[in-house]
Structure 1
Amino acid sequence: MFPLLCLCFPIPGLNSETTDWPGWRGSRGDGTGEGSPPIEWSEEKNVRWKAALPGVGLSSPIVWGAQVFVTTAVPTGKKRAGVVSEHFTRPFELEEQEFLVLAFARASGKELWRKRVNQAMPHEPTHPTNSFATPTPVTDGTRVYCSFGSFGLYALTLTGELAWQVDLGDLTNNGHGEGSSPLLYDGSLILLWAHWGNSFLIALDATNGKERWRTPVPAGNNCSTPIIVHVEGRDQVVCAGSRTIACDPRTGQELWSFGEPNGGITSMASPVAIGELVLVPGVDREDLRALVAMPAGEPAEMLWSRRSNDNIPSPLAYDAKFYFLKGDSAQLTVLDSASGEVEYGPERLQGVSEAWASPVIAGGRLYVTGRDGTVEVLALEPEIATLAVNVLPDAFDASPAAAGDELFLRGKSHLYCLAEPDLK
């Protein structure tokens, strides 16, 4: 038997307060927050501040202490037309990008600093619905670590000074773009580098960017982000994909794997875990798979699988249940984690018609962010029910950050801080 209790511990290296949101999907990497953000908002209600954002990006905001950080890519206007490559036989046009990291005051939304870390012409296009600034940064409270994929990995101080940078080369993803976010673990920065070329999981020393280990992974388009799973007293880093792999986060040693490489099918959603049970999102619209993570040398076991027709929003684990969203039609399904049996849905949401951002849970409520500026808030107990449908004049494809009693939304044009007015 495996434990079904949700292990509520932060990832080593992310010793954040419950009011912070230090990286992709929060301090535990599972999309759940400890606070109680507002239920209702509008342009006139519960918007503490909004700040204009330059350029284009899908990275989530991260929150640490008094600062909020976000990345973006700004087109410079310099273009290169008639480009062809091994994977693109028809000519395409590229536009040079300026890659920025921005910091805002958490209390007011005032821009504190912006740092240009690179300016470059892309080697291939990204998908029209993706961006050149999709990976979410991560912080340990000393530095902010930002991946721009093919355009570099950067460590900045909290005041915007460059500490180090690393170039891992170019990712080739057939124009789908890039998106895997870095993960901090016990002084290491872990990053999945998967594409149609040489693919690997890599760990860098967070203090200087020097390589600690590198483990091969199957080639193919993969924008998912690894997670940490605790198995019989030891941590494992688990990577989703056509072949799911678990490694020792300290050495990179492969501990177990499940499945076979399938020729480079796209994976976008990240896995999530309850105890030693790992839910691996469907790869290219394949099945959701619930895998029991095992100690080193023992093969993982598939406990159950269920057909999934979407692979963009990442699933959630909460109260021994898995929540997943069919993004293109905004249908919510809740599964019992032990059996895979459906406890709710699939049910179309009332206010959101399409959702590509990964939902979050905070204050016992589910927040689903729509592409049209709509956010639906749902109660989870005693039964799932819509509490509010909120609309802002923006478009939301980036996943929200639920930091304490505040909710941060990254829109196409603005960054928003949502909070009750009596908060200081």
Structure 2
Amino acid sequence: MNRFRAAFACVACISISLVATAGVTAGDWSQFRGPQGDGVASAGDYPTEWSDTENIRWSVALPQPGNGSPIVVDGNVFVCSAEDSKGLARSLICFDADNGHQRWSRTVTLAAEMPTHKTNPYAGSTPACDGSRVVVWHATGGLHAYNMNGDPLWSRDLGEFRHMWGYGSSPVIVGDRVILNSGPGKQVFVAAFDVKSGETLWRHDEPVPGDGERNAEGKYMGTWSTPVPIERDGRQLAIVAMHQRILALDVETGDVVWFFRVTSDRGDLAYSSPMIEGDLCVFNAGFKGPTMAFEMNGRGDITENQRWRIEGNPQSIGTGILRGGFVYRVGAGPNLIDCLDAKTGKTVWQERNKAAFWGSIAAAGATAYATDQSGTTIVFRLSPDEFKPVAECPLKDSSNATPALAGGRVYLRTNQKLWCVE
């Protein structure tokens, strides 16, 4: 029997609109960390100053808090939310990007409450859209696809996903398939699904030492990392951080092309996604674990390709930006923004912040956006010379989500609302 029940009736629809499927355009933000999964907007100029009363085009209330981020495709904003504090009903909601009117909402229900941490409510995932279909993962609530009008296309019950800290990975769409990292917990796999039918095309199961919450040494473990799609030598790869190693999976076949072993005396935790530029991959292990860089060359075990490793890092939950040979990161304890030389790992500069960052950095051109837990977005320049602040933009509501940059607007999810800045 399925663990979830799909409730395809529209929940609290304010208005229903037929939506054209014009496909993903250069101005869209179609999945977690943008169209390429690297945190960078493909086009457009974006606002750099706002508050809860200035430069807000619209804001709408959301049913419950959540750490999942919005995406924007073809005039639609999609975001996940639980409908109740126990996460027994979980929804994908579609809003009109111009005015914030709710177009539709689709909800699945769970038979039992699943564990999570109070800092990670039951909407930890970000949807993905290819312009014709939008895909959402509700963990134990299943993987679902809808067309742009909200009509159900397919649903998959992938089993129970149980971890004391909840879930947080997001699906990504690469060509004709959906790539999903299913962790954390005892059942951990990366799989590809046909975006049209939901059929499983391949599945890679990652070994899980321990009980899925603690490793064989009794230390915390888990992966919440969203895969990063790249192309190498004419082949599409999905780079995904698991609890003990980083994998390069062939998107077509699911074969492990190479893997890099990640070790930490603080446990086996992957919160953020790998950051990639050229052949270099930089990764921040979770729970103040090491930051490391390695060359993505070779096959099989490429751990010997490590270029550098730095211990004693800030808590890394959100993902940074790797641009022009420099890494820009945000920390969740100590609370800071910093810049590292990607060749050496040396800290170039760092700037303290009043609040911690849980969301990832988004960037348009040389302008970066990082929203802290107080709901204030720090706007700064991607400069290796020094920290160059542009503005601090408060919304007076807590947030753990990542900004979406689309069509010259900034879309932000806070615990109580979804905002459009113009």
Output the TM-score relative to the length of structure 1. Answer: 0.85
Conserved? CA contact 1:96–1:120, under 8 Å: no
- Whole-angstrom CA distance in 1 between matches of 2:27 and 2:233: 29
Shift of 1:63: 0.2
1:373 to 346, 367, 375: 375
**1:332 corresponds to which residue?**
337
1:265-304 aligned within 5 A: 265-297=268-300, 299-300=302-303, 301-304=305-308
Question: What residue in structure 1 maps to residue 58 of structure 2?
Answer: 49
In 2, are the aligned partners of 1:218 and 1:243 still within 8 Å (CA)? no
Between stretches 157-166 and 358-367, larger displacement belongs to 358-367
**1:98 Cα deviation from its structure 2 partner:** 1.1
For 2:245, the equivalent position in structure 1 comes to 243
Instruction: After TM superposition, list the pairs within 5 Å mapping 1:337-416 onto structure 2.
Output: 337-345=342-350, 347-349=351-353, 352-381=354-383, 383-416=386-419
1:323 counterpart = 2:332: no
Shift of 1:37: 1.6
Q: Deviation of residue 183 (structure 1)?
A: 1.2
Q: Which amino acid aligns with 1:248?
A: D
Write the letter of the residue equivalent to 1:331: L
Counterpart CA distance in 2 for 1:260 and 1:52 is: 41
CA deviation after TM superposition for structure 1 residue 36, in Å: 2.2
The normalised TM-score by structure 2 is 0.86
* Among 219, 230, 255, the residue aligned to 2:257: 255
How do 1:31-50 and structure 2 match up within 5 A?
A: 31-33=39-41, 34-50=43-59
The alignment status of 1:195 with 2:184, answered yes or no, reads yes
Kindly provide the amino acid, as one letter, of the partner of residue 57 in structure 1. G
Paired with 1:35 and 1:295, the residues of 2 have a C-alpha distance of: 37
- SS of the residue corresponding to residue 250 of structure 1 reads coil
Deviations 1:61-84 (CA, angstroms, capped at 9, x unpaired): 0000111011101117xxxxxxxx
Q: Report the Cα offset of residue 229 of structure 1.
A: 2.8
Residue 209 of structure 1 corresponds to 198
1:62 equivalent in structure 2: 71
Secondary structure at the counterpart of residue 84 of structure 2: strand
For 1:85-124, list aligned pairs within 5 A: 95=86, 97-122=88-113, 124=114
Q: 1:230 to 1:15 in 2, by over 3 A?
A: farther
* Cα distance change of structure 1 residues 195 and 387 upon mapping to structure 2, 3 Å threshold: closer
Q: Which amino acid aligns with 1:49?
A: W
Partner residue, 1:139: 129
Q: Percent identity?
A: 31
Q: Flag structure 1 segments of 5+ consecutive residues without an equivalent.
A: 1-13, 77-94, 420-424
Query: Residue 4 of structure 2 corresponds to which residue in structure 1?
Result: none
Residues 334 and 261 of structure 1: is their aligned pair in 2 closer, same or farther, counting only changes over 3 Å? closer
From 67, 72, 75, the equivalent of 2:84 is 75
SS in 2 for 1:150: helix
Question: Distance between the aligned counterparts of 1:48 and 1:363, measured in 2?
Answer: 23
- Spell out, residue by residue over 1:384-407, the C-alpha distance to the aligned partner (whole angstroms, 9 max, x if none): 321211111311111110113110
* Partner of residue 225, structure 1: 226
Assess, with a 3 A threshold, how the Cα gap between structure 1 residues 75 and 361 changes in structure 2: closer, same or farther: same
Mind listing any 5+ residue stretches in structure 2 that lack a counterpart? 1-21, 213-221
Give the secondary-structure state (helix, strand or coil) at the position aligned to 2:140.
Answer: helix
Deviations 1:83-118 (A, max 9, x none): xxxxxxxxxxxx352111111111111111111133
Q: Counterparts of 1:416 and 1:325 in 2: how far apart (Å)?
A: 22
Over aligned residues, Cα RMSD in angstroms? 2.1
Measure, in 1, the Cα distance between the counterparts of 2:133 and 2:201. 18
Q: Distance in 1 between matches of 2:300 and 2:357?
A: 39
Shift of 1:199: 2.0
